[in-house]
């Protein structure tokens, strides 16, 4: 829920991310190059194989006959060459990561009766009797500046007067969003639930017993030896963590499917107190869920939408301020909510800076890397007042899916990374249409890009999200074809109305 604080309203905190030009830590640059060097064997084998193929293509039949006559009388050379060839091929095959393909994904779209226009939201908040006038005015200001439209959704329990945040209602919300997304996913891909070998579910604030992953296993009668995982308490960036875990599992288990389900549960996590730093999630968080089908089967490449290229995760939990900047606790009246620190924006900026510094060497063109690295060395050795060169990430990525946590973080990322309005359009419109759906928001954004017909073969997508802990995580995907939106997508009935102008 870390990104909940990123709105235009100040709560004794800066509304701006730190200027990335001021400082870049060299150790995170080295970490990025470490990732690059870890694939050095593959990088070295590629030119060697290219040279061999070029030389072989230039040989005529007489050259081949002469080589054969030379080798058949030299058994030692044949044995050595064969051993080297077999050993090299074996090492390459064993160390080469298996490609992970995104076959398809789906986003849950609630029924219209769950819509919560801003005016109705405020009326309902007043009628509950839980909020004083100061809190009501505070919520009204947040809604006005949040970037949310009038078509976002809240769970059924919050539409009752008084609200009914029971365990049963929370289970029903979880079932609706998860099963709704999974039904569409299985329908669109024609994959049978019994074929799923790995299941990863992430939901930060609702962790019942049996777990959410067990609820899915029970509903779809998944096989008994499925590897299932349930991630809790990891915030809005847990969707990327879940993808990373599924990727690691697909490196171990051959020829299988992995399903990732990302969601958040609002029913039992609505705050009914008057502490302003704990009221923001009520105004921003809305119902949503996404289900993603991943595969390591080579046959699935032909129908898959994307290939997973990189996942980079940054965790600042060792720092006490970062650890406590998004903290679930009780207020003085004993009411539970998520408290947001005044240092949240600065901590988010620091985590983002580390993440993109690590990611840079993996994705940026050589020209950008040289400019960045040379200015960094000059700053370290000669002049500490020289600002580091911030690379142009538009040269590395065609599309950006910035977690729709709030309008201010999108604004600041647009400014610091020198992005255009088009680059952040998917994030802004997702926030406007669906609100902050936590870890699933990056999938609504990707669906927006597809619905607009902008995803072309070879395009690279950068998904980036923030989460409590404090974490900043990135996933990079490459389109394997000109991607069209899947049937029954979340934008199917409204894409022609977007983009809309968001009132400042």
- Catalytic site residues? 236, 315, 399, 403, 432, 436
57 sits in which H/E element: helix 40-57
463 sits in which H/E element: strand 460-467
Give the strands of the sheet with 289-295, arranged side by side: 227-231, 196-202, 257-263, 289-295, 101-107, 306-315, 471-479, 460-467, 399-402
Task: Give the integer Cα–Cα distance in Å for 148 and 154.
Answer: 13
Q: How far is CA 61 from the centre of its chain?
A: 54
Q: Is 490 helix (H, G, I), strand (E, B) or coil?
A: coil
Specify burial of residue 267 (Cβ count, 10 A radius: 0-12, 13-18, 19+): buried
Q: Cβ neighbours of residue 113 under 8 Å, at least 6 residues apart?
A: 159
E runs forming strands in 203-317: 227-231, 257-263, 289-295, 306-315
DSSP string, 108-122: ----GGGB--HHHHH
Task: Give the integer Cα–Cα distance in Å for 359 and 364.
Answer: 8
Q: Is 478 helix (H, G, I), strand (E, B) or coil?
A: strand
Residue 88 dihedral angles phi and psi, to the nearest 5°: -60, -40
Nearest to 463 by CA among 451, 452, 477: 477
Burial 435-467, CB ≥16 within 10 A → b, else e: bbbbbbbbbbbbbbbbbbebbeeebbbbbbbbb
Nearest to 106 by CA among 328, 234, 260: 260
Question: Do you find a cis peptide bond into 500, omega within 30 degrees of 0?
Answer: no
- Angle (CA) 343 348 353, round 5°: 130
Task: Give the integer Cα–Cα distance in Å for 330 and 271.
Answer: 10
Task: Give the integer Cα–Cα distance in Å for 467 and 308.
Answer: 21
Task: Give the integer Cα–Cα distance in Å for 105 and 103.
Answer: 7
């Amino acid at each position: 829920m870390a990104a909940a604080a990123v709105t235009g309203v100040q709560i004794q905190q800066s509304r701006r991310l730190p200027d990335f030009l001021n400082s870049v830590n060299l150790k995170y640059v080295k970490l990025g190059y470490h990732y690059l060097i870890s694939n050095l064997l593959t990088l070295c084998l590629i030119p060697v194989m290219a040279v061999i193929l070029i030389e072989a293509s230039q040989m005529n039949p007489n050259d081949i006959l002469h080589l054969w006559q030379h080798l058949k009388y030299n058994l030692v050379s044949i044995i050595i060459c064969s051993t080297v060839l077999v050993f090299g091929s074996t090492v390459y095959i064993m160390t080469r990561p298996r490609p992970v393909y995104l076959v398809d994904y789906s986003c849950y779209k609630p029924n219209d009766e769950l819509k919560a226009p801003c005016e109705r939201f405020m009326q309902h908040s007043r009628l509950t009797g839980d909020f004083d006038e100061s809190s009501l005015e505070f919520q009204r200001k947040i809604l006005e500046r949040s970037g949310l439209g009038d078509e976002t959704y809240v769970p059924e329990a919050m539409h009752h007067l008084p609200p009914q945040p029971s365990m049963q209602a929370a289970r029903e919300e979880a079932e609706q969003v998860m099963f709704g997304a999974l039904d569409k996913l299985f329908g669109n891909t024609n994959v049978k639930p019994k074929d799923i070998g790995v299941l990863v579910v992430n939901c930060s604030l609702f962790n019942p017993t049996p777990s959410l992953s067990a609820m899915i296993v029970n509903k779809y009668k998944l096989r008994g030896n499925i590897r299932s995982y349930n991630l809790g308490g990891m915030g809005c960036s847990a969707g990327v963590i879940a993808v990373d875990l599924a990727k690691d599992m697909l490196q171990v288990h051959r020829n299988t499917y992995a399903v990732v389900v990302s969601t958040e549960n609002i029913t039992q996590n609505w705050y009914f107190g008057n502490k302003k730093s704990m009221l923001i999630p009520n105004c921003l968080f809305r119902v949503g869920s996404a289900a993603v089908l991943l595969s390591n089967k080579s046959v699935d490449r032909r129908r898959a939408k994307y290939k997973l290229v990189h996942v980079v995760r940054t965790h600042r939990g060792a720092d006490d301020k970062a650890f406590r900047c998004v903290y679930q606790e009780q207020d003085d009246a004993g009411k539970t909510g998520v408290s947001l620190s005044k240092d949240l924006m600065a901590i988010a900026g620091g985590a983002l800076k580390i993440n993109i510094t690590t990611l840079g060497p993996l994705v940026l063109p050589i020209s950008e890397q040289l400019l960045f690295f040379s200015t960094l060395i000059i700053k370290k050795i000669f002049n500490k007042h020289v600002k580091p060169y911030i690379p142009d990430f538009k040269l590395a990525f065609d599309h950006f899916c910035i977690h729709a946590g709030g309008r201010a973080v999108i604004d600041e990322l647009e400014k610091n990374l020198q992005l255009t309005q088009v680059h952040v359009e998917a994030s802004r419109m997702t926030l406007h249409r669906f609100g902050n759906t936590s870890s699933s928001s990056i999938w609504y954004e990707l669906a927006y890009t597809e619905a607009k017909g902008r995803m072309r073969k070879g395009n690279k997508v950068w998904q980036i999200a923030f989460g409590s802990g404090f974490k900043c995580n990135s996933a990079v995907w490459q389109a394997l074809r000109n991607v069209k939106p899947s049937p029954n997508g979340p934008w199917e009935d409204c894409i022609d109305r977007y983009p809309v102008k968001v009132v400042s």
